[in-house]
């Protein structure tokens, strides 16, 4: 059963709690985090069906909007974005402990939501697992080799000749209109090494706590990752292999637009939640 809930300071946080008729005693409660400013239903309504299917398995699921997003109000006081997210997730887990009596939680998210999930799992002792869909990971030497092979294949594909003709026609048209070329500006000037170091430390802390991880990568983000084991190669000194279940959706875009991809993802997540041994991890203080 789905019910609307509010919690946090002055009930600023709003979400939907999918409750099972009878909770499975040994399964954690799942908490879904926003993707950037996207509403809690997720891209292509990714989360509502999944939440209800998990509830049918006895697993409560909370999908809520972080403060300042969707139906949730702005959190009072001056806080950094990092502090805001930590406070929001803490409030969600505190609420669920009282509402469902659960002591174990799995944090789930896509893209930015995946990053938030792994960050919060590194310091909150109640988090026993994470479902990470297209999280941020560094490029590796194999990533660049795979990209080079893909470029070579494209250069000799029949479609590329048609594309070249279209580009030439477009440039001729612009020249005739005497328009100035559009200058592409990088969306982010963040140092890749700093990002790699930051997330490496986060994954190391979560691994030290024995947090279980399901990581799903899609071909829709092939500019950033393009093969299944890239996250393991990115941080070879972190023992992620024994804690992480890895999947690569070679035919899916970033937002799981096709129904078949969403169905496959839902089955994968349900099986992982149902079959993973979520023993209480070590304390974040260790």
Successive 10-residue mean pLDDT values, the chain, 286 residues? 94 96 91 93 96 96 95 90 91 95 95 96 95 96 88 63 62 61 42 90 96 97 93 96 95 96 98 91 66
Q: Is the pTM of this model over 0.75?
A: yes
d(CA 254, CA 261): 10
Q: Which of helix, strand or coil describes residue 171?
A: helix
pLDDT of residue 259: 97
Q: Which of 212, 262, 16 is nearest to 105 (CA)?
A: 212
The DSSP 8-state label assigned to residue 220 in this structure reads G
d(CA 118, CA 231): 13
d(CA 249, CA 262): 11
d(CA 36, CA 23): 30
What's the burial of 276, exposed, middle or buried (CB within 10 Å: 0-12/13-18/19+)? middle
Of the chain, the end-to-end C-alpha distance in Å amounts to 38
d(CA 267, CA 265): 5
Q: Which of helix, strand or coil describes residue 27?
A: coil
Six-digit token string for 130: 């994470």
d(CA 260, CA 44): 12
d(CA 57, CA 70): 28
């Amino acid at each position: 059963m789905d019910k609307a809930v509010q919690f946090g300071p002055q009930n600023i946080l709003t979400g939907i709690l999918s409750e099972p008729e009878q909770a499975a005693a040994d399964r954690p409660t799942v908490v879904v985090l926003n993707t950037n400013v996207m509403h809690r239903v997720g891209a292509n309504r990714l989360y509502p069906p999944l939440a209800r299917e998990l509830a049918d398995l006895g697993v409560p699921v909370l999908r809520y909007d972080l403060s300042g997003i969707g139906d949730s109000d702005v959190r009072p006081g001056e806080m950094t974005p990092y502090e805001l997210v930590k406070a929001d997730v803490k409030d969600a887990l505190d609420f669920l402990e009282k509402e469902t009596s659960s002591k174990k939680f799995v944090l789930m998210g896509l893209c930015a939501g995946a990053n938030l999930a792994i960050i919060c799992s590194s310091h909150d002792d109640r988090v026993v697992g994470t479902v990470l869909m297209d999280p941020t990971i560094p490029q590796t030497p194999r990533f660049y080799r795979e990209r080079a092979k893909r470029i070579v294949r494209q250069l000799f594909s029949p479609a590329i000749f048609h594309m070249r003709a279209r580009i030439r026609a477009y440039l001729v048209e612009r020249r005739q209109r005497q328009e100035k070329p559009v200058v592409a500006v990088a969306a982010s000037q963040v140092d890749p090494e700093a990002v790699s170091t930051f997330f490496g430390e986060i994954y190391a802390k979560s691994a030290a706590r024995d947090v279980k991880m399901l990581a799903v990568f899609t071909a829709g983000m092939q500019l950033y990752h393009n093969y299944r084991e890239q996250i393991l190669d990115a941080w070879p000194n972190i023992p992620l292999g024994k804690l992480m279940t890895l999947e690569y959706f070679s035919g899916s875009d970033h937002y799981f637009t096709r129904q078949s991809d969403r169905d496959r993802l839902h089955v994968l997540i349900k099986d992982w939640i149902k079959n993973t041994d979520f023993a209480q991890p070590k304390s974040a203080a260790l």
